[in-house]
Amino acid sequence: MGTSQIQRKTHIECRAVLFDLDGVLIDSTECILRHWRDWAEKNHVDIRKIERVAHGLRTVETMRLVAPHQNVEQDAATFHDHELLDTEGIIAIDGALRLLTALPEWSWTIVTSASRDLVKVRMAKAGLQMPEKCVTADDVRNGKPSPEPYLLGAEKLGNTPQECVVVEDAPSGIEAGKKAGMRVIAIASTHSRQTLLETEADYIVDRLLDLHISSSDDDRILSIMLE
């Protein structure tokens, strides 16, 4: 493990930042858990099993893990419809609006396990603008922890993996970013610092507010300061 616990200000340079969505830019925990509790109760699944594996995975993949006997494709479609209709409790994480507003369009995107429609409604609910070149569950065959989503994100922005930095909160997303050959900043928002120390994240910070990013349009270089 090469994780750096931030003891003092750390400086990173890159050409693009790839953000996970839930747990990084928006707090959707209350809303998502509400849907999972309803599904678990109807299907006699222990909610604790879901809580252990769901974060960072696509809905259908979580269902396959906890209820392989179910018709998970149909269940996932119904679950998705409910998520589109109920966004109560979704808010922007502190610092997200400031951070994204300051970043030029060429420098960042979102790479998420949610569908494109779900990203749209959640970003709108949180008061954030959805980037044009985001990567969603609709765009890839294999979700996180496969590197495919992050590799596609780099490609969409016209960068090599080595030029990108990933910002994640979930072990599955951290694994995806590292498999893609990118540097990964982990935020201890949905998982404990101890859990994140057991991943291959390059850096760990406590909050999104601990990231400060400036850009230079002349050479298209981003400067990230971690506190």
pLDDT tens string 63-88: 999 999 888 999 999 999 999 999 99
Alpha carbon 8 to its chain's center: 25
- Annotation says 22 is catalytic: yes
Residue 227 or 203, more confident: 203
CATH 2.60.40.10 fits 4-28+90-226, yes or no: no
- Where, residue-wise, is CATH 3.40.50.1000 in the chain? 4-28+90-226
| Phi, psi for residue 19 in degrees, rounded to 5 | -95, 135
CA atoms within 13 A on the CB side of 16: 26
DSSP structure class, residue 213: E
C-alpha 67/C-alpha 61 separation (Å) is 10
Kindly state the average pLDDT of the residues 125-146: 96
Claim: this prediction has a pTM higher than 0.85: yes
pLDDT band at 2 (very low <50, low <70, confident <90, very high): low
- Annotation says 217 is catalytic: no
Residue 17's identity, in one-letter code, is V
Q: What angle do CA 124, 127, 128 make, to 5 degrees?
A: 80
70's tokens: 């179910």
Residue 6 has pLDDT above 80, yes or no: no
Contacts for 188 with CB less than 8 Å, ≥ 6 apart: 169, 196, 204, 205, 206, 207
pLDDT of residue 37: 96
Q: What percent of the chain shows pLDDT beyond 90?
A: 88
pLDDT tens per residue, range 21-57:
999 999 999 999 999 999 999 999 999 999 998 888 8
Residue 3 has pLDDT above 80, yes or no: no
Alpha carbon 191 to its chain's center: 13
CATH 1.10.3470 fits 29-85, yes or no: no
Catalytic residue among 20, 27, 169, 202: 20
C-alpha 137/C-alpha 186 separation (Å) is 21
Kindly state the average pLDDT of the residues 161-177: 98
pLDDT of residue 70: 85
Residue 42 burial (CB < 10 Å; 0-12/13-18/19+)?
Answer: exposed
pLDDT band at 173 (very low <50, low <70, confident <90, very high): very high
- Where, residue-wise, is CATH 1.10.150 in the chain? 29-85
Residue 168 has pLDDT above 50, yes or no: yes
